[in-house]
Amino acid sequence: MAAPNGQPGRTRCISDADLRAFSGYVMKRAFNAIQADVNMALAPLGLRMITFSALSVIVSNPGLRQSQLADALLIERPNLVPIVDELQNSGLVYRDPAPDDRRAYALAATPAGQRLYERAYAAVQAHEARVTKPLGTAERRALIDMLTRIEG
Amino acid sequence: MAAPNGQPGRTRCISDADLRAFSGYVMKRAFNAIQADVNMALAPLGLRMITFSALSVIVSNPGLRQSQLADALLIERPNLVPIVDELQNSGLVYRDPAPDDRRAYALAATPAGQRLYERAYAAVQAHEARVTKPLGTAERRALIDMLTRIEG
DNA sequence: TATTGTTATACTCTATAACTATA
DNA sequence: TATAGTTATAGAGTATAACAATA
């Protein structure tokens, strides 16, 4: 289980063979590569991965509540507040008083937010093609499918 | 590209269909699930995912330098210091003066560190079987392979 | 000059408790 | 009493600059 590959002080090539069979480790490295690339793709639009994800769900679900958005993004309610603040301060989304519950806000994208989302979506699709370049079309679909099954 | 699925204030089912085709998002969710499970598996042994990964590389490469370990784990040198401190304070690894470079330390696992690594490795394999349960053997191998290709 | 390990620092992400105003 | 949004806070993870000792 992990045999030494050299004498102390003389190791030349670092082995992480055991780790490369550990999916958490491999996934962390792949996710880091993907996140770096997508953040680079979104930076010119003033978005990050998490703000793009939030904007995407808001565009698809106008009128949703912040707690619903937090559930969809799998983040805690308190951590969503500065994310929605950021999108609102950029004029991309707005918080409307919910008609049926005065504690809640209905979230929706502004016209500028919808336009930016379309550009960001295109940028993310280009990023997607870039990072999954080493994969075939069937593999790419299989990867998404397997990851979704692991999460569920 | 993201059609509304309800009227404002009346959204019942939140759609994240666009996000589910975005591999960064899917991977983040899968990684979160995996990391939570592996940290739970390692907690009884006093290890976390990052300390297990570091211990694994040290066991496989006795005598390696901290900078080599940081490279192997894809983390910055300053961030490795408290990780090695933690392993050393637990009596699992030690820092020896490097014979050929008085600036550097040669890292190695103590006997206790090697014994704990074997138990941790077994725990991680059980975790691995648990989280990849929805996958077949061939799929599991294909997933690791695809993630490795994406990272490279 | 460059590199090793280190300190200090800062920014993001994540998680929990507690507050307010409603329900 | 429970819930929605919020504040405050604390813990990880990550990134950079700069220092002392050494190469």
Cα dihedral B27, B15, A57, A107 in deg (nearest 10): -150
Measured CA to CA in angstroms, residue B4 lies from A6, A87, B126 at distances of: 60, 19, 43
- Predicted pLDDT of residue A152: 79
**pLDDT of A84 higher than 70:** yes
pLDDT digits (tens, 9 = 90+) for B118-148: 999 999 999 999 999 999 999 999 999 999 9
Tokens, residue A151:
């999460």
Measured CA to CA in angstroms, residue A68 lies from B15, B73, B116, B151 at distances of: 10, 36, 43, 33
pLDDT grade, residue A3 (50/70/90)? Answer: very low
Residues A62/A108, Cβ–Cβ less than 8 Å: yes
Q: Distance between CA atoms of A113 and A108, rounded to whole angstroms?
A: 9
Q: Which residues touch strand C (CB under 7 A)?
A: A 48-50, 75-79, 101-103; B 28, 32, 36, 65-67, 77-78, 80-81, 84, 95, 98, 101, 103-105
Between strands B105-109 and A93-97, the pairing is unpaired
- Predicted pLDDT of residue B13: 84
pLDDT digits (tens, 9 = 90+) for B6-33: 344 445 689 998 898 888 889 998 998 8
Tokens, residue A87:
């999108």
Mean pLDDT, range A78-82, rounded to an integer: 98
**pLDDT of A8 higher than 50:** no
The closest CB to that of A60, out of B5, B7, B134, belongs to B5
pLDDT grade, residue A10 (50/70/90)? Answer: very low
Among A23, A16, A28, A72, CA closest to B133:
A23
Residues B52/B42, Cβ–Cβ less than 8 Å: yes
- Predicted pLDDT of residue B10: 44
- Predicted pLDDT of residue B12: 64
pLDDT grade, residue A12 (50/70/90)? Answer: low
**pLDDT of B151 higher than 90:** no
- Rounded to whole angstroms, the distance from the CA of residue A78 to the C1' of nucleotide C16 is 10
Which three-class secondary structure state does DSSP give residue A107? strand
pLDDT grade, residue B72 (50/70/90)? Answer: very high
3-state helix, strand, coil in chain A (%, to 5): 60, 5, 30
- Tell me which protein residue sits closest to nucleotide D7, measuring alpha carbon to C1': A78
Q: Distance between CA atoms of B85 and A38, rounded to whole angstroms?
A: 34
Q: Do B152 and A134 touch (CB under 8 A)?
A: yes
Which helix (H) or strand (E) is A115 found in, with range? helix A111-131
Measured CA to CA in angstroms, residue B121 lies from A117, B69, B81, B114 at distances of: 44, 18, 23, 10
